[in-house]
Chain A
């Protein structure tokens, strides 16, 4: 450093020139590399990937700025007392500030100039190499794929991961909750006497599911293998003893079969009747599929046989 200080004016100029040339090359090379890689990606990918890459590029820019501004300030402070040539320093400091307003390329140049003032040429090269490495790393991180530049075959897992990342980037709603939550109030099930059960918020549940109460009623009675009817104050009376947990299980099965879409599992569906068949039309994905009709199937005789015989005859 002392020797350099002695030769100051000439050396500085030389250095500057040298550095500018070096830096230009390096900067150009780096920037070219940066620009090329995303381009390759864009070529490979569809329009979906473009957005991603653009975002990445922006973030690169941000990173650079953040990194380089602190460096500049520190180095400026160090440089002022360290080197005697105030004028040169001022010139040097002014130059980069002007350049900072310009393109990204200039940032790298400015950075390297300042570093080079304090450090030897060898160190400079080392720095450059380091910078290049760092920026390479940044590139890789930005692409989120370690195989961006390589020719090797991509494994299935990598491709799968990449696809899901792109999907998540494109649809931020999906990222928030993978499966849209379907909140429902628990069924209020009370015993009425010893042999009957009342399902108090049956109408509410039918409403939240957007299904006809009759349809839900049919399903419940068929599944539970009993009989039942609606009460005067809109509650369901089922014959037999049932716990809330059991009713909940049956409701869960109903939702799975008749409410959630079979393809995308969204609960925004419409149940339509078409030529005696029920069709589930999904509002979000547009799929339409038929659902099983509600059949109670074989019902064993559980009551008193004498009473049944008396009825029929």
Chain B
């Protein structure tokens, strides 16, 4: 039987764990919007503010061969906006690069 008070406890356990991987907290919402004709927009909302969204969008544009911007929104913070239906692409890319885990991604739309 061990006495609970005498157990050594690392006070920095949480901090160490947090530094490792879990910068992304909460869900990343990936949505699609229809524009005129068969054109669409993909928005990525909820990426952690600690990431540099401008760099992300730059590499996304290159990877998916599409245009995109970062939009500042008063309520939702910075939101990625990409042209075309990039839902599949962005999901794969985010998990591959390690910015978010697959269970943190939430894909909306049809």
Q: Is the CB of A224 within 8 A of B109?
A: yes
Q: A281-313 interface mask toward B, CB cutoff 8 Å, 1 = contact, 0 = none? A: 000000000000000011110100000000000
Contacts of A223 in B (CB 8 A): 108-110
Q: In the assembly, what is the distance between CA of A242 and CA of B32, in Å?
A: 13
Q: In the assembly, what is the distance between CA of A299 and CA of B109, in Å?
A: 12
Q: Is B9 an interface residue (CB 8 A)?
A: no
Instruction: Choose among A240, A243, A247, A300 the residue that contacts B81 (Cβ–Cβ < 8 A).
Output: A300
Chain A contact residues: over half helix, strand or loop, or mixed? Answer: loop
Q: Is the CB of B32 within 8 A of A297?
A: no
Q: In the assembly, what is the distance between CA of A210 and CA of B76, in Å?
A: 33
Which residues 40-61 of B sit at the A interface, judged by CB distance below 8 A?
Answer: 41, 43, 45
Q: Is the CB of A241 within 8 A of B34?
A: yes
Q: Is the CB of A298 within 8 A of B41?
A: no
Q: In the assembly, what is the distance between CA of A40 and CA of B13, in Å?
A: 51
Q: In the assembly, what is the distance between CA of A26 and CA of B45, in Å?
A: 79
Q: Is the CB of A225 within 8 A of B79?
A: no
Q: Is B35 an interface residue (CB 8 A)?
A: yes
> Taking CB as reference atom, which chain B residue is nearest A226?
B34
List 9 A-B residue pairs with CB atoms under 8 Å apart, sorted by A's residue number: A224-B34, A226-B33, A249-B110, A250-B109, A297-B29, A297-B108, A298-B45, A298-B73, A300-B79
Interface residues of B (CB under 8 A from A): 29, 31-36, 38, 41, 43, 45, 71, 73, 76, 79, 81, 108-110
Besides the contacts A225-B33, A242-B110, what 11 more A-B pairs have beta carbons closer than 8 Å? Answer: A224-B110, A225-B34, A250-B109, A298-B29, A298-B71, A298-B79, A299-B33, A299-B43, A300-B81, A302-B35, A302-B36
